[in-house]
Amino acid sequence: MLELNKVTKYYKNEKVLDEITMTIKEGEFVSLLGPSGCGKSTLVHIISGLNQASDGEVSMDGRKITRPSTDRIMVFQSNGLFPWLTVEQNVAFGKKDNGNKISKDEVKKLLKMIRLTSYRHKYPHQLSGGMKQRVSIARSLAMDPQLLLMDEPFSALDEQTKNELHDELQKIWMETGKTIIFVTHNIREAVKLSDRVLVMGNDPGRIICDVRISEPHPRSHADQNLVALESSILRLLEKEIRKQKEGEELHGTLDEKKSIFNGSITSLARTLFYKNMA
């Protein structure tokens, strides 16, 4: 279980994250959705330990997170693969905190999972963007982390590749049962993949809404219920952006711990719309 307690981050004097509090259960697929610059990357970097909070704390299973660990692995938008290593060597690169190397069998299994076995001796520059991202995911899974942090992993990909990778990621998630925090500013992506969408607002970055989606997995991007939900989240975000433009304060931000949505998605969408547009 991952817990954030009043995590606040300043860059110089500018507050980019404001008292973020949330709890993420083991095995949950949670999306962080929000406009550009609202602090999504900063937040996942803090959770990974690659960046530090100015205030508040992050803990996993009761232990405070202060530095990077192979228990929490990041997948970056521009993949971060090592260009001088082959696909296979990239997947096998990691060194677990407990000193264990990644076994040959493990690498083989992962390459099969991402369907790149025949590409194992190729170098990253010989792969397409989607393939690179798959290798990056396999390299992260090889560490057998408790938590996978994905920072806009698919946003540089074309629509079709993105959809393929969505299906693949859903499958991987269902097979491995990993906890995943998935950053995106694509509403459709967030709604399609997650159990929970945390909608973030800007200036300072904070969570404005916690949406639970109980639709069973795997989901398809054509699902009508999802489409309805998508548009209501869009309206919420638009309001947030408009608010920001007008520079006025939205009074009474929602308590993110008190999840307002449960039950079927359609009613959920309606509730969402009602609660926020009223």
Ligand X SMILES: Nc1ncnc2c1ncn2[C@@H]1O[C@H](COP(=O)(O)OP(=O)(O)OP(=O)(O)O)[C@@H](O)[C@H]1O
Residue 41, interface with Mg ion (CB under 5 A)?
yes
Q: Could you tell me which stretch among 31-39, 212-220, 231-239, 268-276 binds ligand X (CB under 6 A)?
A: 31-39
Name the residue whose CB lies closest to ligand X: 41
The interface region with Mg ion, picked from 39-47, 58-66, 240-248, 257-265 by CB under 5 A, is 39-47
- x/- binding map, residues 40-69, to ligand X, per CB under 6 A? xxx---------------------------
Beta bridge partners of 15: 10
Q: Which does 184 bind (CB under 5 to 8 A by kind): another protein, Mg ion, ligand X, none?
A: none
Which of the choices another protein, Mg ion, ligand X, none does residue 185 contact, using the CB cut-off of 5 to 8 A by kind? ligand X
Is 216 among the residues that bind another protein (CB under 8 A)? no
Q: How many CB atoms lie within 10 A of CB 191?
A: 30
Q: Is 11 in the site for another protein (CB under 8 A)?
A: no
Which of another protein, ligand X, Mg ion, none lies near 36, with the C-beta cut-off 5 to 8 A by kind?
ligand X
How far from each other are the two terminal CA atoms of the chain, in whole angstroms? 34
Residue where the block lists tokens 């959705």: 33
Closest by Cα among 166, 140, 183 to 31: 183
Q: Looking at beta carbons only, is 35 or 94 nearer to another protein?
A: 94
Q: What is the 3-state secondary structure (H, E, C) of 251-267?
A: CCCCCCCCCCCCCCHHH
| Rounded CA separation 206/244 (Å) | 13
Q: Which of residues 146-185 bind another protein (CB under 8 A)?
A: none
Question: At residue 245, what is the residue type?
Answer: K
Residue from the set 37, 177, 218, 263 that interacts with ligand X by CB under 6 A: 37
* Residues in 160-189 at the binding interface with ligand X, rule: CB under 6 A: 185
Distance CA 2, CA 96 (A): 20
Q: What is the DSSP string of 147-205?
A: EEEEESTTTTS-HHHHHHHHHHHHHHHHHH--EEEEEES-HHHHHHH-SEEEEEETTTB
Secondary structure class of 66 (helix, strand, coil): coil
Q: Which of 24, 33, 39, 201 is in the footprint of ligand X by CB under 6 A? A: 39
Is residue 273 a contact point for another protein (CB under 8 A)? Answer: no
What's the min distance (Å) between Cβ of 96 and ligand X?
28
Total interface residues for ligand X by CB under 6 A? 11
